[in-house]
Amino acid sequence: MKAYQGRGINNGIAFGAAFILKKAQHHIDDAPAQNPDGEWARFLAAKKEADNQLEALMEKTQRELGQDEAMIIDVQRMMLLDEDFDDAVRGIIYDGGHRAPYATNQAGTHFAAMFAAMDDDYMKARAVDVADLAGRLTQILLGVSTNLHLTAPSIIIAEDLTPSETLQMDKSKIRAFVIQQGSDTSHTAILARIMNIACIIQCDIPLDEAFSGQEMAVDGAAGICYLVADDATRANLLEKQKNDEANKQQLLEMKGLPTITADGRTVRLYSNIGSPDDIPYVLENDAEGIGLFRSEFLYLGRDSFPSEEEQFEAYQKVAQAMGDKQVIIRTLDIGADKQADYFKLDAEENPALGLRGIRICIERPDIFTTQLRAIYRASAFGNIAMMFPMIASVWEVQHCNQIAADVRSQLVNEGHTIGKVEIGIMIETPSAVMMADELAKEVDFFSVGTNDLTQYALAIDRQNNKLDRFYNPHHPAVMRMLGAIATAARNTGISAGICGEMAADTKVTKTLIDMGFDKLSVSPAYTLALRKVIREIG
Amino acid sequence: MKELRHIITDELGIHARPAAHLVKRCSAYESEIMIGTPAKMVDAKRIMGVMGLGLKCGEEVTMTFNGPDADQAILDLQAFLKENL
């Protein structure tokens, strides 16, 4: 039995097959080929391997989905064996003097562009097949694996996971995450909390392919994972799992009870979600609304902007599922640590202080308007509100309010039914805190993003685990800021909530309610535990 | 060299699946087989090129056959086009 230690950030015991996810390295250098014949041979070998993979995939698809779907894979196989593709790669290796991964990538780009340029939507879409194929070949050449297909209940072991990687996985088969890097607030950690599964970060486990498929046990509370646990360890873990289950039962008794302190103060207990898929977790945990619907997940893991219709459907789905409970959609908050290529954002020295959040929406009104139209249209189907992220100045709010008002009247003119739609802002920059009294006059509510606010206030990068010693989530500077925000909201008569990780931090729940925050939005899994704590206050 | 012409009746034109079938059929023959329009002819044994033609419904496609089994190939492909495109 081998044991590996890290930091457990979500409790729970999990058993599953180890799934090693090696980071796809997108670094393809254009160093000259020393030996073109060797590079060509590498390409041919990769082609053979890709064909084997596709053949297996085709058989599986045929078995599970039928002949029509399998044909799509067959087309990729034929593209792979196509001599035009070979010619292009050969030319780049021999005439261009480049190495095989670079040549493959270039040839893929060339043919994908050819399809993308055709005046036929069906053929345009084939660009994806070519890109997929070239990506497969390149990965084989570079020896990286990005197989995200889970066949059994699995424990995902990786350096770290990107949002788009986790999106592609079948969540129902993920039992736990064990990652080498990460922090409390990294995406993997957030996802683990939403799914309420065990997660170990900063773990010393190697990404050894030999582990693949072996039985693994994870103890989230202790931050330890075992590779093929011995009988005594397994028995111990099963016992713990039983206790966890008993605690869970206790929390279930909180279902259906109002969230009100012992001294009579009512708190709105909401959930944070990343996609409509999270709704079952929200309902299961009896949350009273959605305090943060992160809309950027609609934009990630794809290669073009989501259409108004597509967004409308996602928002409508959530609004309908929640009925008369409020759903607060945060408008696009992309940039910094979350990016998609098709936005064509320039690389930045300092993305946390760069073009992100509302700044992108102000610079690219077309993107913003599409989203606002979808939100307003969906508002006819439930109780929708929206909020703008990364606000630093009063004019930004006025500007966005104006755009929203224009979109709204345009839709009314088009004959659409539109709901009330309260507008709020995220308070997550020190500047917004200082201006809170002015900002409060422009909006219906505040929602504090404590993760970003803390990082900007303390000048500490939340992804940098070397700074853990300097990072104090309850830093007096942050607590004073929170007090000032709640006071400004109260003085103007608007609602103030918290949707950052601090909302779930039971050490400060009483303090936050005393300050005047009336809305706490947390990962669905924390809802009932937090309700229990709130009901004991006073 | 032998030649055949066919007007495409499939709504989607020569899309991926029929293109794949067509390339497979052609690849079974030794003859040199080209496909396209008078403006642009490509090797009918290469799928990228065939799909790249982007031939649509209502357009006339030309195929040329040159080689020892051309007679057999032209009959086979004629039947294929009629049935599938």
Query: In chain B, helix, strand, coil percent, each to 5?
Result: 40, 25, 35
DSSP A75-107: HHHHHHT-HHHHHHHHIIIIIT-B-HHHHHHHH
Mean pLDDT of the region A288-293: 97
Residues contacting residue A85 through CB under 8 Å, at least 6 positions apart? A79, A107, A111, B48
* The one-letter amino acid at A364: R
Which CATH superfamily groups domain B2-84?
A: HPr-like (3.30.1340.10)
- Is residue A95's pLDDT more than 80? yes
Percent of chain A with pLDDT over 90: 56
Residue A26's H or E segment, with its range, is none
The SS3 of residue A156 is strand
Residues in B closer than 8 angstroms to A79, CB to CB, are 47-48
- The mean pLDDT value of chain A amounts to 89
Q: Which residues of B touch A (CB under 8 A)?
A: 12-13, 15-17, 19-20, 23-24, 43, 45-49, 51-52, 54, 56
pLDDT, tens digit (0-9, with 9 covering 90-100), for A381-430: 999 999 999 999 999 999 999 999 999 999 999 999 999 999 999 999 99
Percent of chain A with pLDDT over 70: 93
Asked if A120 lies within 8 A of B51 by C-beta distance, the reply is: no
Asked if B16 lies within 8 A of A114 by C-beta distance, the reply is: no
Give the single-character DSSP code of A175: E
- Is residue A336's pLDDT more than 60? no
More confident residue, A325 or A111: A325
> What band does A119 get if pLDDT is binned at 50, 70 and 90?
confident
Asked if B51 lies within 8 A of A126 by C-beta distance, the reply is: yes
Strand partners, A112: none
Judged by average pLDDT, the poorest of A278-282, A409-413, A518-522 is A278-282
Pairing outcome for strands B32-37 and A268-273: unpaired
- Note the ipTM here: 0.81
Greatest mean pLDDT among A70-84, A132-146, A328-342, A465-479 lies in A465-479
How many angstroms away from the CA of B68 is the closest CA of chain A? 22
Structure tokens at A456: 């900007």
Residues contacting residue A69 through CB under 8 Å, at least 6 positions apart? A61, A62
* The one-letter amino acid at A111: F
- Confidence (pTM): 0.59
B21 is catalytic: no
How many angstroms away from the CA of B25 is the closest CA of chain A? 12
Closest residue by Cα to residue A107 from A84, A78, A81? A84
Which residue matches tokens 């294929």? B80
Using alpha carbons only, give the angle A443, A501, A523 rounded to the nearest 5 degrees.
90
Residues in A closer than 8 angstroms to B45, CB to CB, are 83
> What band does A457 get if pLDDT is binned at 50, 70 and 90?
very high
* The one-letter amino acid at A313: E
Mean pLDDT of the region A302-308: 87
Q: Where are the alpha helices (DSSP H) in A81-180?
A: 83-90, 100-116, 121-125, 127-142, 163-168
Sheet holding B60-66, edge to edge: B2-7, B60-66, B32-37, B40-43
Asked if A123 lies within 8 A of B54 by C-beta distance, the reply is: yes
Asked if B48 lies within 8 A of A118 by C-beta distance, the reply is: no
pLDDT, tens digit (0-9, with 9 covering 90-100), for A125-178: 677 778 778 888 888 888 775 667 788 899 999 887 765 466 557 778 899 999
Q: Where are the alpha helices (DSSP H) in A357-475?
A: 358-363, 365-378, 394-413, 430-434, 436-440, 450-458
| Alpha-carbon distance values, A492 to A145, A264, A265, A440 (Å) | 55, 23, 19, 6
Q: Residue A425 and residue A194: Cα distance in Å, rounded?
A: 23
